[in-house]
Structure 1
């Protein structure tokens, strides 16, 4: 088999997404370097490999793991592509690190959530920056050296990874990177990265903060009537903001944006359609899948909600629009991060208040 890229594949950020991709690529025969700041994780991978525990089975891959302090070694590598897989609040320093040590010919792919491409491009250069969106991965770290995926491969029914150039044209390098990611799950090239980014942002804002505050699994968030109802309201607020910003979504979770807005406004038929769409998301998952926000809160770490619901709330306020549900979730998450709010289903009352 001919591999789609020649050279090392570097991932800066060894959290759940970075570890899943690193493990999948290494299993497919790629030479992978994973750089992370969690010492126990790096030591575990060095000692026993990187284990990916998925519904299809458990595999351990040979991945080269580096500590952040070893990033200078990148300057001497033949790097085919580098993926940025750090938390959103770490984007600026991580992009600067790559700009310092990565060979100048290596493209940098933002395999993150939210709208970060411009920030990365300012550090590493616009010409070498691409965006990649990973949807429906449903992954979390089970411990040092072990990443667990709750979603089944192929369950999305389409491309899980979408790779796009910032200028929107289809290029050979975007095709090579999409082919590379197909070793992990279905991948494709997009010529509309920004709309895809907005759709993913909307989806994230509907579930991750809600899961974090309530302490519920993603399956529960998707299938409980109360949490699904909040998700519908979050969708409508995000869609309205997106329209004001010029984003024209064709679908969100498989149904037209208008349906989400009608459902939030009280249309019974639209609400049934929206709840069915959310239930279908749960059908491809196995029990135990936690949102990234819930994982972070349980570990006492900062969350990315400021870049999700907080971003929606801030942009809505700037434009004179209303996004009260997003603002409420962002505010409550800030309380939870500081230990002033205990997470659990009781927080639904405060979200809806």
Structure 2
């Protein structure tokens, strides 16, 4: 990809993140192709365009929408870059599809959650794989052809999008992709993709599962004392595990990692600071934002929590460390997915049962 060009952009995965990015790029004048398996969504975009509703207002944009059965057209589509924006459990087949139909010169950016770059690279090759992190997006699908965002543009603090090469060096293509995404929200290049990934993973594990189990919006999770106290515990467990695995997390929501660990241990001053940091995040949101976990549970779909809290719990157990709050959240989400646990605030007591929460 060459800086300054406006070639075709492909997004495989037309859910909330894919639609927000695809719609934002199309609104900025880019040639966008959105490929997705949701038939009604594709047809709605084809018929009426994509309706994007954000705190800044609503707009309807036109972009190309293809069904998965059209993926063979990628071979001759003239794509300059492709973004992988599918659910984590769909990563393998989606990466294989891109490896099959995209020319080998096209870079592929993993704009997903969790640590998936090595997994994607096994299919498409390490040389064409870049990591993309989207923080503070807070988006959900309101229906076919309609995506909503509940976070103000540029309000998340720092760059919303961070693009990094797996080898850690800054490259012209990484710079070009970051410049491209700046048409959607703030973007930059990172030379430490893996630590940034761990920061994003930690943030996801602190809030998405809580939102899913309680039925609360993300704004509410960031605002309530009871959910924030559990989130602090989750954050501290993930930060401690990350350190043991070599991820030197410096700051999370503007605070150093040690502050979250001290807060979880009961330090009153650190707790107050951590609570305030989460309140600042809530202030940048509008009401109605649903976490991806809550969206999935509400629709009877599998969640990504096995790659979030479940991953933290499994890695901690592998290293002989403790992450009881993550293990509890993952277990309760599994029950909710199976339909044996109802969503509600009562699940907060189930999370803290058997764990120490300050």
The normalised TM-score by structure 1 is: 0.99
Residues in 1 aligned to 2:3 and 2:11: alpha-carbon distance in whole angstroms:
18
CA contact (8 A) 2:213 2:336 kept: yes
Instruction: Tell me whether 1:105 sits opposite 2:109 in the alignment.
Output: no
Q: State the match for 2:222 in structure 1.
A: 222
Q: State the match for 1:302 in structure 2.
A: 302
Residues in 2 aligned to 1:42 and 1:3: alpha-carbon distance in whole angstroms:
30
CA contact (8 A) 1:134 1:160 kept: yes
Q: State the match for 1:43 in structure 2.
A: 43
Cα displacement string for residues 50-72 of structure 1 (whole angstroms, at most 9, x for unaligned residues): 11100101111111000001100
Q: State the match for 2:63 in structure 1.
A: 63
Residues in 2 aligned to 1:211 and 1:254: alpha-carbon distance in whole angstroms:
22
- Residue 4 of structure 1 deviates from its aligned partner by 3.4
- Residue 5 of structure 1 deviates from its aligned partner by 3.3
Q: State the match for 2:321 in structure 1.
A: 321
Q: State the match for 2:138 in structure 1.
A: 138
Cα displacement string for residues 104-158 of structure 1 (whole angstroms, at most 9, x for unaligned residues): 1100000000000000001000000000100000000011000000000010232
Residues in 2 aligned to 1:332 and 1:233: alpha-carbon distance in whole angstroms:
17
Instruction: Please list every run of 5 or more consecutive structure 2 residues that lacks an aligned counterpart in the other structure.
Output: 354-358
Local SS of the residue matching 1:206: helix
CA contact (8 A) 2:3 2:175 kept: no
Residues in 2 aligned to 1:87 and 1:5: alpha-carbon distance in whole angstroms:
29
CA contact (8 A) 1:40 1:144 kept: yes
CA contact (8 A) 1:5 1:180 kept: no
Matched ranges for 1:1-353 at <5 A = 4-353=4-353
Indicate the larger mover: 78-87 or 153-162. Answer: 153-162
Residues in 2 aligned to 1:33 and 1:145: alpha-carbon distance in whole angstroms:
14
Cα displacement string for residues 156-188 of structure 1 (whole angstroms, at most 9, x for unaligned residues): 232100000000000000000000000000000
Cα displacement string for residues 214-233 of structure 1 (whole angstroms, at most 9, x for unaligned residues): 10011111111111000000
Residues in 2 aligned to 1:350 and 1:115: alpha-carbon distance in whole angstroms:
28
CA contact (8 A) 1:4 1:177 kept: no
CA contact (8 A) 1:5 1:177 kept: no
Residues in 2 aligned to 1:60 and 1:166: alpha-carbon distance in whole angstroms:
36
Local SS of the residue matching 1:10: strand
Cα displacement string for residues 296-328 of structure 1 (whole angstroms, at most 9, x for unaligned residues): 000000000000000000000000000000000
Indicate the larger mover: 86-95 or 6-15. Answer: 6-15
Residues in 2 aligned to 1:216 and 1:52: alpha-carbon distance in whole angstroms:
23
Residues in 2 aligned to 1:226 and 1:269: alpha-carbon distance in whole angstroms:
17
Local SS of the residue matching 2:130: strand
Local SS of the residue matching 1:109: strand
CA contact (8 A) 1:5 1:80 kept: no
Residues in 2 aligned to 1:173 and 1:106: alpha-carbon distance in whole angstroms:
11
CA contact (8 A) 2:6 2:31 kept: no
CA contact (8 A) 2:3 2:176 kept: no
Local SS of the residue matching 2:252: coil
CA contact (8 A) 2:3 2:172 kept: no
The normalised TM-score by structure 2 is: 0.97
Local SS of the residue matching 1:332: helix
Local SS of the residue matching 2:321: coil
- Residue 3 of structure 1 deviates from its aligned partner by 7.9
RMSD across aligned positions (CA): 0.9
